[in-house]
């Protein structure tokens, strides 16, 4: 334990943090500070840097709310970020050191979002073993995402194939675009009408993030002439192409725009990316399942992948 030192993240450590994320075996661009800090006004950052024998050994993206540490509430997933050299015994020692540090700071509870294995560059579940061995961790959330692996993907359902034929007959085209405003107009209208909510990101925020991460965040639109019928915002995270937002106008739905869009993305644009993830179809930490949304994703070949959240007392 004497070999380990825990330091809070500060702006002065940004370059060191990002360099570690870049080489980690279980990290995506969401853990880079340019992404994490866009909503710093909403979350009290309490990210930790774990040093072993004076060298950076692991990271924990996190924020603090009262006496609870969250592995970051502004991110879809989180957990301990590890290098190729991080070992199981080292992870357990790192957790022990983190816990001692947190207790000294008056933190009494930890909410821990595990990183789904599809994002691992190599096996990286030592953190889950450490939770089992060292804590009274309870599973408090399990979101269900729909995921397909390119090497073993199911065929599209006939209803999706019919939509592709319809979109083709109506001269729908698919293009990569920077016209986030056109897509956000459709997205906001759908979310407001169906659920009475707004997108997690504002138009200004998604434009900012896309400008910071142009290789990772892309917008693909389904259009008829110059008219936008629908689209999706893709997050490209290593082995995974993830749909962050999907939406179509009533006209786009009638034209099969999303069917042609996802045929293009899955079978051509991102066919060389090992995993295509449609995102969650659940709400309230997984307690509510949107069956119609799930049905649509399963018709494209998506199958279940869980995003787990644990909680434990210190």
Residue 235: in which H helix or E strand, if any?
A: strand 227-237
Distance separating alpha carbons of residues 278 and 269, to the nearest angstrom: 15
| List of residues 6+ apart from 140 with CB closer than 8 A | 111, 285, 309, 310, 311
Residue among 261, 287, 309, 270 nearest 116 (CA): 309
Q: What is the dihedral of CA 210, 213, 217, 218, to 10 degrees?
A: 70
Task: Judge contact between 260 and 164, C-beta under 8 A.
Answer: yes
Q: Across the strands, what pairs with 277?
A: 147, 242
pLDDT of residue 174: 98
Q: Across the strands, what pairs with 218?
A: 234
Tens-place pLDDT, residues 210-248:
999 999 999 999 999 999 999 999 999 999 999 999 999
Main-chain phi, psi angles of 66, to 5 degrees? 65, -130
Radius of gyration of the chain (CA): 21
Angle at 33 (CA atoms; ends 32, 36), nearest 5 degrees: 90
Q: What is the dihedral of CA 246, 216, 178, 146, to 10 degrees?
A: -10
Query: Residue 179 gets which letter from DSSP?
Result: -
Task: Judge contact between 95 and 136, C-beta under 8 A.
Answer: no
For residue 260 the two structure tokens come to: 């042609």
| List of residues 6+ apart from 200 with CB closer than 8 A | none
Residue limits of CATH 3.40.630.30 in the chain: 4-135, 147-305
pTM: 0.93
Q: Which residues of the chain have pLDDT under 50?
A: none
Task: Judge contact between 57 and 90, C-beta under 8 A.
Answer: yes
What is the strand order of the sheet 55-60 is part of? Answer: 4-8, 48-52, 55-60, 81-82
Specify the CATH architecture of the domain 147-305.
Answer: 3-Layer(aba) Sandwich (3.40)
Task: Judge contact between 311 and 109, C-beta under 8 A.
Answer: yes
Tens-place pLDDT, residues 68-108:
999 999 999 999 999 999 999 999 999 999 999 999 999 99
In the predicted model, what is the mean pLDDT of the chain?
96
Assign domain 4-135 to a CATH class. Answer: alpha beta
Distance separating alpha carbons of residues 247 and 192, to the nearest angstrom: 12
Query: Residue 286 gets which letter from DSSP?
Result: G
| 230 three-class SS | strand
Distance separating alpha carbons of residues 281 and 288, to the nearest angstrom: 9
Distance separating alpha carbons of residues 36 and 17, to the nearest angstrom: 12
């Amino acid at each position: 334990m004497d070999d380990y030192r825990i330091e809070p993240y500060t702006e002065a450590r940004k370059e060191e943090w990002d360099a570690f994320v870049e080489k980690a075996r279980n990290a995506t661009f969401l853990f880079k500070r340019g992404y994490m800090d866009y909503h710093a006004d909403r979350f009290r950052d309490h990210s930790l840097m774990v040093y072993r024998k004076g060298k950076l050994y692991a990271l924990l993206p996190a924020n603090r709310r009262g006496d609870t540490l969250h592995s970051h509430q502004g991110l879809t997933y989180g957990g301990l970020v590890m290098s190729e050299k991080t070992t199981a015994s080292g992870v357990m020692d790192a957790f022990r050191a983190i816990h001692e540090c947190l207790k000294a700071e008056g933190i009494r509870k930890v909410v821990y979002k595990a990183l789904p294995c599809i994002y691992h560059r190599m096996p990286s579940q030592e953190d889950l073993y450490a939770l089992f061995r060292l804590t009274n961790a309870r599973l408090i959330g399990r979101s269900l995402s729909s995921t397909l692996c390119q090497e073993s993907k199911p065929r599209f359902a006939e209803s999706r194939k019919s939509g592709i034929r319809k979109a083709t007959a109506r001269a729908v085209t698919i293009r990569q675009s920077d016209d986030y405003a056109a897509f956000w107009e459709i997205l906001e209208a759908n979310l407001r009408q169906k659920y009475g909510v707004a997108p997690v990101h504002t138009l200004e925020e998604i434009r900012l993030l896309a400008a910071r991460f142009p290789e990772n965040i892309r917008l693909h639109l389904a259009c008829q002439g110059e008219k936008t019928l629908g689209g999706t915002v893709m997050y490209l995270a290593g082995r995974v192409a993830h749909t962050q937002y999907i939406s179509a106008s009533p006209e786009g739905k009638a034209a099969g725009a999303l069917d042609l869009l996802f045929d293009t993305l899955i079978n051509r644009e991102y066919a060389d990316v090992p995993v295509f993830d449609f995102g969650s179809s659940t709400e309230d930490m997984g307690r509510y399942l949107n069956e119609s949304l799930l049905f649509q994703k399963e018709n494209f070949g998506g199958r279940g992948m869980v995003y787990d959240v644990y909680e434990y007392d210190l």
